[in-house]
C-alpha cells in the first residue's frame, strides 16, 4: 500500500507526497476541532484520472487509465490463449488462469519495467475489487441457472455419487495433510488448514463442468445428466463446508462466535427462501402476460445481489455465498431469462477473467523453493483425486454402468476451477495458505482440469452402443410398427406444417407415430445456458416450465392440443439450446438416443404474400446441410406452400370454428424431400 505520513499540525516533518491528499481532523473530534493541535494524516494514493500526456505526466501513474489498460491486456491475453488451447479442447477457465500466471510475477513479472509500470502492487487493490464484484455477479448467475430439481429427477444415484465423490477425497486429503501438517502448514491454524484443504480437494466445479460437457456434446447424455446432478449436490456441500471453514479460520474468534456465524448463515438462507423468494413470485405475478419484467424490478434485483453480499460479509461468511444463495432462490422463468440476458455477456466475458487473472497474478512460482513441501502437497492432491475417481467408479459400477463410463464420470467429477479458486483465494486471504502452498495448489488444479476433456473423450464412446441403430431408417420401418419421428421447430410458424404432415401420414392405433417435437433455440450466451435444454412439455408437473422462452410454450401447447384430439399420435416436446454452428450435433445425438427413424427439418425459406420464397435465416441452410451429411437415419426437408393453412381451417371448422371455411379449399402443395440413409 501507499506510504502514510502522520505528524502533528504545525510541524515541519510532514512533507506532502506527490498526488497526496490531506485528511483534516473532524469537527468535535476529541475537542481538537479548530484548535490547531489536531493530527494531519497525509496519504499518497493513486489519483483517479490523468491530467493528459501533454502535462508531462504518464497516464499509468493514475488508477483509472492503468486499470483500463490492465483489463484490456487480461482480456486480450485470455482470448489468445483460448484460441491456442481450442485444438486441445480445453475449457476457458484454463486459459483464464494461465493468462494470470503469464502476466504475473512468475513470467512477465520478472521484467522489472512490466512489474512496476503495468501491474504494480499499488494497483492490484482496484483490480481485485472489480474482480470480486464480477465474481459476485457470476455466482449469482450460477445460482440463477442451477436447477435444483435435477437432483430429484436423477434419483438417489446422483446423490450417492456426489457423497462418495466428496467424502472419500475429503477424508483422505485431510488425513494425509494431518500426517504431514508440520511440513505443509507452518504457523497457521491447523483445523482451518485441514478444512480449507479438504474442501479444495473434494469440490467439483459445477460451472466448469457445465462448460466441458457442453463443448464435448455430453450435456444431454445420460452421463452428462448424472454428472451435472452430482456436481450440484457437491457444490451445495462445498458451500456449507466453506462457510464452516471461514467461521473457524478467524484468528480472534472463539467457539461461541463461530457458532453465531453459522447460526446467522442459516438465518440468512432461511430469509432468502421464505422472504425473498415469495417477494420474487409476487413481482412475477404483477407482470401482465406477454410483457417482460420492467427495468425498475431488474435494477432492484441486481442491487439485491450486492446487499446479499454485504449481509454475508457482515456475518463473517464470504460475500459470494450470499450472491449464490440469492440467485438460487430467484424463480426460473421470464425473470431469470431477462437477468441472464442482461448480465452474462458482460460478467463472463469481461469481469470474470479478472478474478482468474488475479489468482494467476497471486501465483508466484519464484516462492516455490522447498521441494519437500511441494512434493507433499502434490502427493496429497494426487491421493485425493485418486480417491475421488475410484470412489465414483465403484459407485457407478455398482449401478450397472460400464467401467469405461465410470472412469469418464470419475474424471468429470474431478473437474477443478471456479469454486476451488475461490476456496484457495479465501484461504490465502485468511493466511491459512502461504504463497508457496497457494502456487502449488493452483498449478496442480490447472493440470487436473486439463486432463478431464482428453480422458473423457478417449474412454467414453457412446457411439459403440448404437452401431446397430445405424441400420434404422424409413426404408426399414414396418407399416404395422410405431414410427419414431424427430421434428425440428425453429419458430411457431413451423408448427402447422408439422401437424399437417402428421395428419397426412394417417396414424392409427395399429400403426402409431411417436413424434419428438424439438424446439431449437439459438445460444447467444455462454455454454451453461444449455442447462435448461430438453424440458418436456407433456409433463404437467414440471417445475421448470417457466424457464422456457414464451415461444416454446406456444409450440408445446399446439402439439399437446393436437395429441389430445388426434388418435395414434404421441408427442413429447423438447427444447435444445445451442449455437447454430453445432446445433446439428445436438439433433443427431438426440436422434441416436431416442432411436428415431426420421428427422423432419423445416425448409430454410418461407413463403411470401405474393407466393415467392424468401430466406429466413442464413444459418438454417447450413444447419440443414449438416444434418443431411451426418444424420444416422432418414431426413426429410419440409417445404410448405400453403397446405398447412388449409388444414388448419378444416381442423378449426371441424371443432366448431369458422363455419364458412367448410368448403373445399384450393389445392395447395407441400413438398417433402427425403434423404434415406442405409
Q: What is the pLDDT of residue 466?
A: 45
d(CA 38, CA 11): 11
Residues 564 and 475 in one domain: yes
In terms of Cβ atoms closer than 10 Å to its own Cβ (0-12, 13-18, 19+), residue 48 is exposed
Q: Is residue 123 part of a domain?
A: no
Q: Is residue 243 part of a domain?
A: yes
Strand pairing of 634-640 and 670-675? Answer: antiparallel
- For residues 587 and 531, is the Cβ–Cβ distance under 8 A? no
| Residue ending a domain, choose from 442, 460, 478 | 460
Q: Grid coordinates standing for 420? A: 476451488
> Per-10-residue mean pLDDT for the chain, 678 residues long?
39 40 42 47 61 79 89 93 87 87 89 88 87 90 74 70 85 76 61 78 82 74 80 80 72 65 87 92 78 82 94 86 89 78 85 86 82 84 88 86 88 84 82 82 87 87 50 67 87 85 80 86 52 39 40 78 82 80 81 84 79 76 86 84 56 42 37 48
Give the CATH number of the domain where residue 293 resides: 1.20.1530.20
Residues 414 and 500 in one domain: no
Q: Among candidates 606, 603, 591, 553, which has minimal Cα distance to 575?
A: 553
Q: Which helix (H) or strand (E) holds 637?
A: strand 634-640
Residues 444 and 519 in one domain: no
Residues 160 and 276 in one domain: yes
Helix ranges (DSSP H) in 123-180: 124-145, 149-154, 156-179
Residues 293 and 222 in one domain: yes
Q: What is the pLDDT of residue 33?
A: 42
Q: Is residue 273 part of a domain?
A: yes
Q: Grid coordinates standing for 271? A: 430469509
Q: Is residue 423 part of a domain?
A: yes
User: Crossing angle for the helix pair 255-271 and 319-329, nearest 10 degrees?
Assistant: 30
Strand, helix or coil at 578? strand
Residues 179 and 219 in one domain: yes
Q: Is residue 94 part of a domain?
A: no
Q: Among candidates 132, 617, 186, which has minimal Cα distance to 601?
A: 617
Those residues whose C-beta lies under 8 Å from the C-beta of residue 144, and which sit 6 or more positions away, are 327, 328, 330, 332, 336, 339, 340
Q: How many structural domains is the chain composed of?
A: 3
d(CA 151, CA 157): 9
DSSP 484: E
Residue 634 Rama label (left phi>0; alpha psi -120 to 50; beta): beta
Q: Is residue 361 part of a domain?
A: no
Give the CATH number of the domain where residue 629 resides: 3.40.50.620
- For residues 142 and 324, is the Cβ–Cβ distance under 8 A? yes
Residues 413 and 524 in one domain: no
Residues 412 and 295 in one domain: yes
Q: Is residue 98 part of a domain?
A: no
Residues 524 and 449 in one domain: no
Q: What is the pLDDT of residue 13?
A: 41
* Single pTM value for the model: 0.68
DSSP 545: G
Q: Grid coordinates standing for 389? A: 475417481
d(CA 623, CA 580): 7
Q: Grid coordinates standing for 137? A: 455477479
Residues 528 and 404 in one domain: no
Q: Grid coordinates standing for 226? A: 448424472
Residues 429 and 563 in one domain: no
Residues 432 and 554 in one domain: no
d(CA 655, CA 326): 48
Domain that holds residue 503: 468-675
Q: What is the pLDDT of residue 73?
A: 94
d(CA 56, CA 545): 61
| Residue ending a domain, choose from 460, 481, 509 | 460
| Residue ending a domain, choose from 408, 428, 460 | 460
Q: Is residue 181 part of a domain?
A: yes
Torsion of CA 102, 107, 111, 112, to 10 degrees: 90
Amino acid at each position: 500500500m501507499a506510504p502514510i505520513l502522520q505528524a502533528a499540525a504545525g510541524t515541519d516533518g510532514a512533507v506532502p507526497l506527490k498526488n497526496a491528499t490531506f485528511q483534516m481532523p473532524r469537527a468535535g473530534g476529541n475537542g481538537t476541532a479548530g484548535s490547531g493541535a489536531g493530527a494531519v494524516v497525509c496519504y499518497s494514493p493513486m489519483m483517479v484520472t490523468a491530467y493528459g500526456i501533454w502535462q508531462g505526466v504518464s497516464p499509468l501513474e493514475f488508477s483509472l487509465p492503468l486499470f483500463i489498460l490492465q483489463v484490456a491486456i487480461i482480456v486480450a491475453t485470455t482470448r489468445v490463449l483460448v484460441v491456442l488451447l481450442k485444438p486441445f479442447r480445453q475449457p476457458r477457465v484454463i486459459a483464464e488462469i494461465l493468462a494470470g500466471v503469464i502476466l504475473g510475477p512468475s513470467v512477465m513479472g520478472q521484467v522489472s519495467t512490466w512489474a512496476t509500470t503495468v501491474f504494480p502492487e499499488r494497483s492490484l487493490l482496484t483490480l481485485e475489487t472489480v474482480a470480486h464484484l464480477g465474481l459476485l455477479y457470476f455466482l449469482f448467475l450460477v445460482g440463477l441457472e442451477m436447477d435444483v430439481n435435477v437432483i430429484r429427477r436423477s434419483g438417489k444415484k446422483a446423490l450417492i455419487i456426489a457423497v462418495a465423490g466428496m467424502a472419500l477425497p475429503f477424508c483422505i486429503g485431510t488425513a494425509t495433510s494431518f500426517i504431514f501438517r508440520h511440513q505443509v502448514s507452518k504457523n497457521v491454524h491447523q483445523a482451518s488448514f485441514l478444512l480449507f484443504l479438504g474442501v479444495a480437494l473434494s469440490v467439483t466445479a459445477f460451472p466448469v463442468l457445465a462448460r466441458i460437457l457442453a463443448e464435448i456434446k455430453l450435456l444431454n447424455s445420460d452421463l452428462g445428466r448424472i454428472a451435472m446432478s452430482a456436481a450440484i449436490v457437491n457444490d451445495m456441500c462445498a458451500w456449507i463446508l466453506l462457510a464452516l471453514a471461514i467461521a473457524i479460520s478467524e484468528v480472534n474468534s472463539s467457539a461461541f462466535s463461530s457458532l453465531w456465524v453459522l447460526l446467522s448463515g442459516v438465518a440468512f438462507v432461511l430469509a432468502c427462501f421464505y422472504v425473498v423468494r415469495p417477494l420474487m413470485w409476487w413481482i412475477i405475478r404483477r407482470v401482465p402476460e406477454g410483457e417482460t419484467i420492467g427495468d425498475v424490478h431488474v435494477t432492484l434485483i441486481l442491487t439485491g445481489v450486492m446487499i446479499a453480499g454485504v449481509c454475508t460479509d457482515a456475518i463473517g461468511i464470504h460475500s459470494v455465498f450470499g450472491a449464490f444463495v440469492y440467485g438460487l432462490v430467484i424463480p426460473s422463468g421470464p425473470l431469470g431469462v431477462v437477468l441472464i440476458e442482461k448480465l452474462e455477456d458482460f460478467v463472463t466475458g469481461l469481469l470474470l477473467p479478472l478474478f482468474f487473472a488475479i489468482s494467476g497474478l497471486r501465483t508466484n512460482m519464484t516462492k516455490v523453493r522447498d521441494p519437500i513441501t511441494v512434493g507433499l502437497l502434490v502427493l496429497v492432491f494426487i491421493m485425493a483425486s485418486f480417491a475421488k475417481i475410484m470412489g465414483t467408479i465403484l459407485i457407478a459400477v455398482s449401478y450397472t454402468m460400464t467401467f469405461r463410463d465410470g472412469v469418464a464420470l470419475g474424471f468429470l467429477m474431478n473437474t477443478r476451477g471456479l469454486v476451488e479458486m475461490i476456496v484457495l483465494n479465501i484461504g490465502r486471504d485468511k493466511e491459512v495458505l502461504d504463497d508457496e502452498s497457494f502456487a502449488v495448489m493452483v498449478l496442480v488444479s490447472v493440470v487436473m482440469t486439463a486432463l478431464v476433456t482428453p480422458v473423457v473423450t478417449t474412454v467414453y464412446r457412446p457411439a459403440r452402443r448404437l452401431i446397430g441403430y445405424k441400420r434404422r431408417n424409413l426404408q426399414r420401418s414396418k407399416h404395422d410398427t410405431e414410427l419414431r419421428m424427430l421434428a425440428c421447430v425453429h419458430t411457431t410458424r413451423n408448427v402447422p406444417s408439422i401437424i399437417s404432415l402428421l395428419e397426412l401420414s394417417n396414424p392409427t392405433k395399429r400403426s402409431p407415430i411417436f413424434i419428438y417435437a424439438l424446439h431449437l433455440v439459438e445460444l447467444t450466451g455462454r455454454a451453461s445456458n444449455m442447462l435448461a435444454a430438453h424440458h418436456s412439455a407433456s409433463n404437467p408437473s414440471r417445475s421448470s416450465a417457466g424457464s422456457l422462452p414464451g415461444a416454446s410454450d406456444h409450440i408445446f401447447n399446439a402439439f399437446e392440443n393436437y395429441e389430445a384430439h388426434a388418435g395414434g399420435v404421441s408427442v413429447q416436446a423438447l427444447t435444445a439450446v445451442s449455437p447454430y454452428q453445432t446445433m446439428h450435433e445436438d439433433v443427431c445425438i438426440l436422434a441416436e438416443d431416442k432411436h428415431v427413424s426420421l428427422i423432419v427439418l423445416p425448409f430454410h425459406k418461407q413463403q411470401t404474400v405474393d407466393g415467392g420464397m424468401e430466406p429466413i435465416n442464413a444459418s438454417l441452410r447450413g444447419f440443414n446441410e449438416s444434418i443431411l451429411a451426418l444424420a444416422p437415419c432418414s431426413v426429410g426437408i419440409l417445404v410448405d406452400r400453403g397446405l398447412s393453412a388449409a388444414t388448419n381451417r378444416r381442423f378449426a371448422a371441424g371443432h366448431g370454428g369458422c363455419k364458412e371455411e367448410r368448403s373445399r379449399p384450393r389445392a395447395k402443395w407441400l413438398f417433402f424431400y427425403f434423404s434415406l440413409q442405409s
